[in-house]
């Protein structure tokens, strides 16, 4: 249960944020780059997949968003109390791994609502997805910084103080 001293945790953290920053709103970012560069069928594919993902994401939010929000609050409150109040390092690690993804999901929902209100053109879609990717990368950098600082604190306090 010593998560912060485990190499696999840090590999998982890096893989999680690498994957999260590659998939902006469920669309792989290389598809955006290819649509901008090549156009034609790649552009139509991008617009189609964005339309499908926007409709899918907003349908899920509209139909069961409140239930998902309530369950998320319950789970993250349980993880935070178990991890930071009772000192279970595994719960701290899971909380620090998953909680920032709530902000990424919020960015994706805002981007989807913005895309639904506008006409889907290549310029608008690529600009929105690029902005979504940049916000995800910023959230990831802050999350990795906080997680690494907390992990170092945990490793030093257990190693030096023997807690």
pLDDT at residue 33 greater than cutoff 90: yes
For residue 155, the model assigns a pLDDT of: 87
Q: Identify which of 10, 150, 143, 16 has the alpha carbon closest to the alpha carbon of residue 89.
A: 150
Burial 108-134 (b: 16+ CB within 10 A, else e): bbebbeebeeeeeebeebbebbeebbe
pLDDT at residue 26 greater than cutoff 60: yes
For residue 34, the model assigns a pLDDT of: 95
d(CA 146, CA 124): 33
More confident residue, 119 or 73: 73
pLDDT at residue 52 greater than cutoff 80: yes
Domain ranges of the chain: 7-62+98-157
State pLDDT tens for residues 93-131.
999 999 999 999 999 999 999 999 998 899 999 999 999
């Amino acid at each position: 249960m010593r998560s912060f001293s485990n190499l696999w945790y840090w590999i998982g953290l890096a893989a999680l944020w690498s994957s999260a920053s590659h998939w902006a709103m469920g669309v792989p970012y290389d598809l955006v780059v290819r649509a901008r560069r090549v156009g034609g069928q790649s552009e139509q594919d991008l617009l189609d997949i964005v339309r499908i993902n926007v409709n899918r994401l907003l349908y899920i939010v509209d139909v069961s968003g409140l239930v998902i929000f309530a369950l998320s609050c319950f789970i993250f409150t349980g993880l935070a109390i178990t991890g930071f109040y009772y000192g279970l390092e595994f719960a701290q690690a899971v909380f620090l791994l998953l909680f920032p993804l709530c902000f990424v999901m919020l960015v994706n929902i805002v981007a989807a609502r913005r895309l639904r209100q506008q006409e889907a053109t290549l310029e608008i879609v690529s600009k929105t997805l690029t902005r979504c990717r940049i916000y995800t990368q910023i959230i990831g950098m802050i999350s990795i910084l906080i997680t690494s600082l907390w992990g170092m604190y945990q490793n030093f306090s257990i190693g030096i103080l023997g807690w």
